[in-house]
Each structure stands twice: as structure tokens, then as C-alpha cells.
Amino acid sequence: MLNKKVEKKLVEQIEKEGYSSSLYLAMASWAENNGLEGTAQWMYAQSDEERMHMLKIVKYVNERGGQAVISSFDRPPSEFKNVKNMFDQVFEHEQKVTASINDIVEVCLNEKDFTTHNWLQWFVNEQIEEEASVSAIIDKLNLLGDHNLYLFDRDIMGLRGQQPASME
């Protein structure tokens, strides 16, 4: 049976993952409307991955005897200053998600829910990868400055890989 304090934190994380998916979808739409096809594809894939994270938590909560609650999500922004600014926002957002995952880990340890703690390690590792990936993109954008986005946009899928991370 899932500890109630842990369940509450996981349900909160479901909302955060859903918002993340919506945020990256909004970013994909903006990129697509601004002629940035590669960036749009990267963001679409990222949106799908965040939705998979949300579903992974939903299934875990329900399998452990809790009740996954799906709430509405805040509306994400629809306009972005430029590609660099957008990826800076992605990095800040991923840092918030990392902090949230770490908060759940802390609750698991305090509540001695070692099963959920062990299960959460996949998310801990995923966040390390997420932050490193976005940081590498920002490094490349810093090298480019405000110009030469054509090659960056063409090559961005290679920076992320073609497939979203698996749920296992």
C-alpha cells in the first residue's frame, strides 16, 4: 500500500509532468510557426517524453493502491523571445522538475517508503540526462550567438536522439 504522504507528492508530480508536456508542446508550436522545424521536432519529442513520465507515475500510484488524480494544468506561454531564451526556460524548468523529484525522494526516505524510493531512481537519473542534454544545447547556442540558426536547427535532433526515452 502506498504511503499517503508519498501518494500526495506523486499526484502533485503528475500535474507537473502534465504541465511540462504542455509547455514543450507550446514551444514546439512556436518553433514550427517561426520556421524552426528541427527545434519543433525536438520539442514535440520532449513533450511526448514528459507525457510518458506522467503516465508512468499514474500507473505506479494506481498499482500501489493509491489513486492517481489528473488535474488541469496551467496554460503555458505561447510566445518566446528567441530560441536561446526558450532553451534557457527549458533548463530552468528542468531544474524545477529535478528539485521536485528530489523532494519526493526525501519524503520517501522520511516515511521509510523504500519501494517508491527505489522506483524513483529512474526519474533521478532521467533528470540528470535532461539537464545535461539541455545544457549542451545552450552551450551550442552560446557559440552561435544570435545568428546561424539554420545549421543548429537542422542538427538539433542529433543532439537529443530520434526517440524519446523509454518508460522502463
Name the binding residues for Fe cation: 17, 50, 53, 94, 127
Q: How far apart are the first and last CA of the chain?
A: 22
Give residue 90's Cα distance to chain centre: 8
Residue among 56, 81, 41, 71 at smallest CA distance from 166:
56
Q: Are 54 and 118 within 8 A, CB to CB?
A: no
C-alpha cell belonging to residue 140: 551550442
Binding site: which residues? Answer: 17, 50, 53, 94, 127
30, three cell numbers? 512556436
Q: Output the CA torsion 101→103→105→109 (10° steps).
A: -170
CA nearest to 51, candidates 23, 90, 81, 10:
23
Gap between the Cα atoms of 3 and 93, Å rounded:
28
